[in-house]
Each structure stands twice: as structure tokens, then as C-alpha cells.
């Protein structure tokens, strides 16, 4: 008999949900509840084919993020990619960005909370991430590439921002209608994403 009933997937909240607009609360103590929730978040991220998931997306306003960024075949990895990619999936507790490069880059993003919409977002090329881990240790790395982007996207969720809030006005115009119809559809499901 299975110890855990994994058929009960965590809900994934969609655009319009109040929890996605809030400043999430710091985690004061990593206890069994947090460890179990992080595990369930990893499961949900995988079920929905995501590379990152923030706790508010799973309905809880906590500063907790899970990442499963795929390995990179770039020759020059940032220190964060070199250290973190082999450790995926990773759980970040109270993560913070404590530095940013002046240079920026643009890349298409999507989000499990904004299904079906993709648009180019300009973000810092590199960020310095500082975070606690579940075991209480603290990491600090300069992160670039897809990892650096994913960190910026996921940490935005902890401050109530979606990638669609970061679009240039001319890009926003392209997705505005689609976003509005997603929000309207969300009202009927209490902003809980339906499974495919």
C-alpha cells in the first residue's frame, strides 16, 4: 500500500487568485509541515511540467520555492548553475536576490499560473541569490542563464508579481485579451487550475 496518496495533487492557482497578488510570509521554522509541503510542491511542479513553483501558486502565502531547472550545455556556466543544477530538484526557503547585473536579457516566459500564455520578459542577466535550504544551511550564488531567469520569475511570485506584470506595454497588448479571458474563466473554478 502506498504511504502517500499522490493522486491528491496540490492545487495550482491561476491568474486572478488573491494569493498570487500578496506579499508572502517568511518561514520562521522549517518543520514537518513545511517539509511535506515542499515535497508536494515538487510533485505538482513535475505533474504540470514546470521548472519552478512558488508556494503562493500552490495556494499558500509562504516564501518557499521549488526548482527543477534542466542541465545546461553552455560551456560557461555561472557559479550558481555549476553548483545548483546538479542538485535539482532544490527547495529554497526565504530566498532573496541580493545583487543584480547591470546587463539585461530578453526571453520568452510562461507560468503554470498563466496557462497557455507566453511572452518575452526583460530581466537581469545575472542575479546573486541568497537562500536558506531545508536543512538550515544558507547558500549564496551568482546565477545566470535559465536558472537566473527562473529565480527572478519565482521570487517575483513571493512579492505578488506575475511575469505578465513585467511585460513592455507593446508586448502586454498582445496577450491582454487572453489574460482577461483566463481571469474570467478562473472565477468559475475559484482560480484553481483544472487538470488536463
Applying CB under 5 A, the residues found at the interface with Zn ion are 111
| CB-CB contact of 66 with 42 (8 Å) | yes
Q: How far is the CB of 17 from Zn ion (least distance, A)?
A: 12
CA 62 to mean position of chain CA atoms: 12
Q: How far is the CB of 54 from Zn ion (least distance, A)?
A: 7
CB burial class (10 A; 0-12, 13-18, 19+) of residue 139? Answer: middle
Instruction: Closer to Zn ion by CB, 77 or 155: give it.
Output: 155
Instruction: Closer to Zn ion by CB, 118 or 174: give it.
Output: 118
Q: How far is the CB of 157 from Zn ion (least distance, A)?
A: 6
CA–CA distances in Å: residue 27 to residues 62, 69, 94, 177: 6, 23, 6, 36
Cα separation, 192 vs 15, in Å, equals: 9
The candidate with the shortest Cα–Cα distance to 88, out of 109, 106, 72, is: 72
Instruction: Closer to Zn ion by CB, 39 or 48: give it.
Output: 48
- 3-state secondary structure (DSSP) of residue 165: helix
- 3-state secondary structure (DSSP) of residue 51: coil
From 154, 170, 171, 183, the catalytic residue: 154
Question: Rounded to 5 degrees, what are φ and ψ at 131?
Answer: -155, 150
Q: How far is the CB of 153 from Zn ion (least distance, A)?
A: 5
Q: Is 154 an annotated catalytic residue?
A: yes
Instruction: Closer to Zn ion by CB, 126 or 153: give it.
Output: 153
Q: Which residue lies nearest Zn ion, judged by its C-beta?
A: 111
Q: Which residues are catalytic?
A: 154
Amino acid at each position: 500500500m502506498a504511504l502517500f496518496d499522490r493522486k491528491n495533487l496540490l492545487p495550482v492557482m491561476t491568474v486572478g487568485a488573491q494569493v498570487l497578488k500578496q506579499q508572502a510570509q517568511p518561514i520562521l521554522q522549517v518543520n514537518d509541515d513545511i517539509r511535506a509541503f515542499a515535497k508536494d510542491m515538487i510533485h505538482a511542479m513535475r505533474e504540470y511540467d514546470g521548472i519552478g513553483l512558488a508556494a503562493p501558486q500552490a495556494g499558500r502565502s509562504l516564501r518557499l520555492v521549488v526548482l527543477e531547472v534542466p542541465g545546461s550545455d553552455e560551456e560557461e556556466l555561472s557559479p550558481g548553475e555549476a553548483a545548483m543544477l546538479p542538485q535539482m530538484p532544490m527547495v529554497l526557503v526565504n530566498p532573496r536576490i541580493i545583487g543584480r547585473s547591470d546587463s539585461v536579457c530578453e526571453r520568452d516566459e510562461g507560468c503554470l499560473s498563466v496557462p497557455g500564455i507566453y511572452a518575452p520578459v526583460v530581466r537581469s542577466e545575472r542575479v546573486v541569490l541568497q537562500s536558506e535550504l531545508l536543512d538550515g544551511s544558507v547558500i549564496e550564488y551568482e546565477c545566470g542563464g535559465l536558472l537566473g531567469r527562473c529565480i527572478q520569475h519565482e521570487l517575483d511570485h513571493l512579492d505578488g508579481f506575475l511575469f505578465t506584470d513585467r511585460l513592455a506595454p507593446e508586448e502586454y497588448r498582445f496577450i491582454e485579451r487572453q489574460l482577461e479571458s483566463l481571469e474570467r474563466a478562473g472565477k468559475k473554478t475559484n482560480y484553481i487550475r483544472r487538470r488536463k
